């Protein structure tokens, strides 16, 4: 009898324990389901990387981006809105498929400080995300956008050469048409050669035209804004041959600054690594004419008679006559001119007494540095480039 009662009590105990365990299990499931339903975006089904170069704009004026999916829909979680980001283009870096729809983690289309910050595409590092981050948004709040309105490849490549070497750079893509545009190289070391355009694109945002350049040998260079202030259409002409006529009995010698003496630095505002050039024409052992291509790649021609300057002629970037100076007072010691499109970046022309072995010096006073071409009475030429220490410059090797 006692054994029967003990067996019955044990059976009841097991049954109660089983009911308790089942109850806990149901409670846990209910809790989990409750947790997922409380998530603003529902349960995440899948996560995958997205292509940030697929472009989007906001679909309407009520769109909001949030700091995280957990804060989605909350007032305190708003990262940006139509009012603060209506002009921006975005690209997704992550795609979340949830029970409530599809959500994207977005970055702004950007290009850093003048495009020099990264000489290549940056990874999604903390530094990059600090200025590219734009939060999380639902896919239905976005609309596809095509930054390039029109694009075509030339049947025959078109010849160009460089006028203004510093106002534009060569980019990996037209600015704001990829999630990150950066400068691939400058024109500093391309000023003395023939270039060719092989294709062209038109930006939708402002209608600006960009051309893709390569060297005569087919070396790929990058995209640049199609501006007559930077590119001169046609075949390259050596400025000495273009601007100086050598008469019978005269000689002309071309001098080119060494690459080493430029310090091989890239400046944001100047062509620091451009090799200055000087063409010296001598008549009966005296210098009669000189042509200087300074750091800004603009021709300056100076005429001399018996060792004294008689006229200085300046040309614009596209090699058209700009200003002529003939006043004896200015030609006695020194004077400066401020070029159009480069206010505050003057060219200073200096002259020396007949007792000095120096004849003239042409100095470009830039924002990132200065560069001087000094011509001696003997016809000797000296070049000097001086990058300023307090200004950020970049190694030329980063942009090759």
Residue 296 shares a structural domain with residue 394: yes
Among 233, 258, 291, the domain boundary falls at 233
- Domain assignment of residue 88, given as a range: 44-144
The pTM of this model reads 0.85
Residue 38 lies in a domain: no
Residue 188 lies in a domain: yes
Per-residue pLDDT tens over the stretch 340-395? 655 567 899 999 999 999 999 999 999 999 999 999 999 999 999 999 999 999 99
The backbone torsions φ and ψ at residue 210, rounded to the nearest 5 degrees and listed phi first, read -125, 145
Among 144, 161, 179, the domain boundary falls at 144
Compute the mean pLDDT over every residue in the chain, rounded to the nearest whole number.
89
Number of H helices, E strands in the chain: 4, 28
Q: How far apart are the first and last CA of the chain?
A: 98
Q: What is the pLDDT of residue 112?
A: 64
139 DSSP assignment: G
> Who has greater pLDDT, 136 or 32?
136
Picking from 19-23, 140-144, 229-233, which range would have the lowest pLDDT averaged per residue? 19-23
| Domain count for the chain | 3
Work out the average pLDDT over 248-261: 97
Per-residue pLDDT tens over the stretch 103-135? 999 999 987 666 787 777 777 777 778 788 999
- 28, pLDDT greater than 90: no
Among 190, 217, 233, the domain boundary falls at 233
- 321, pLDDT greater than 60: yes
Residue 361 shares a structural domain with residue 254: yes
Residue 249 shares a structural domain with residue 386: yes
Residue 3 lies in a domain: no
Among the listed residues 269, 262, 292, the one whose alpha carbon sits nearest the alpha carbon of residue 189: 262
Residue 214 shares a structural domain with residue 290: no
Q: What is the pLDDT of residue 113?
A: 64
Residue 59 shares a structural domain with residue 85: yes
Residue 117 shares a structural domain with residue 162: no
Residue 196 shares a structural domain with residue 69: no
- 275, pLDDT greater than 70: yes
């Amino acid at each position: 009898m006692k054994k029967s009662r003990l067996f019955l009590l044990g059976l009841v105990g097991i049954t109660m324990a089983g009911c308790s365990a089942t109850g806990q299990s149901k409670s846990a499931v209910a809790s989990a389901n409750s947790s997922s339903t409380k998530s603003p975006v529902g349960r995440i089904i899948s996560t995958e990387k997205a292509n940030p170069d697929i472009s989007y704009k906001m679909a309407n004026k009520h769109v909001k981006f949030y700091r995280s999916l957990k804060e989605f829909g909350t007032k305190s979680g708003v990262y940006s809105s139509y009012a603060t980001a209506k002009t921006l283009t975005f690209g997704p870096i992550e795609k979340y498929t949830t029970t409530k729809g599809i959500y994207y983690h977005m970055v702004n289309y950007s290009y850093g400080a003048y495009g020099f910050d990264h000489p290549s595409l940056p990874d999604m590092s903390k530094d990059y995300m600090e200025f590219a981050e734009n939060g999380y948004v639902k896919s239905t709040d976005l609309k596809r956008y095509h930054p390039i309105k029109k694009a075509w490849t030339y049947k025959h490549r078109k010849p160009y050469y460089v006028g203004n070497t510093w106002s534009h750079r060569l980019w990996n893509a037209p600015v704001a048409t990829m999630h990150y545009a950066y400068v691939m190289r400058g024109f500093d070391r391309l000023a003395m050669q023939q270039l060719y355009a092989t294709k062209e694109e038109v930006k939708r945002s402002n209608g600006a035209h960009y051309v893709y350049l390569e060297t005569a040998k087919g070396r790929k260079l990058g995209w640049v804004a199609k501006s007559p202030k930077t590119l001169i259409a046609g075949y390259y002409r050596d400025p000495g041959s273009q601007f100086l006529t050598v008469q019978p009995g005269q000689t002309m010698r071309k001098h080119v600054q060494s690459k080493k003496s430029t310090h091989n630095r890239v400046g944001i505002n100047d062509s620091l690594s451009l090799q200055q050039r000087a063409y010296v024409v001598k008549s009966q052992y005296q210098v009669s004419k000189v042509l200087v291509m300074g750091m800004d790649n603009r021709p300056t021609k100076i005429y001399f008679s018996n060792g004294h300057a008689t006229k200085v002629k300046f040309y614009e970037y596209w090699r058209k006559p700009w200003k002529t100076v003939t006043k004896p007072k200015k030609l006695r010691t020194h004077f400066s001119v401020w070029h159009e499109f480069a206010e505050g970046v003057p060219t200073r022309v200096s002259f020396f007494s007949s007792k000095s072995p120096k004849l003239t010096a042409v100095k470009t006073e830039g924002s990132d540095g200065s560069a001087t071409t000094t011509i001696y009475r003997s016809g000797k030429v000296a070049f000097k480039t001086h990058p300023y220490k307090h200004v950020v410059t970049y190694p030329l090797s980063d942009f090759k």
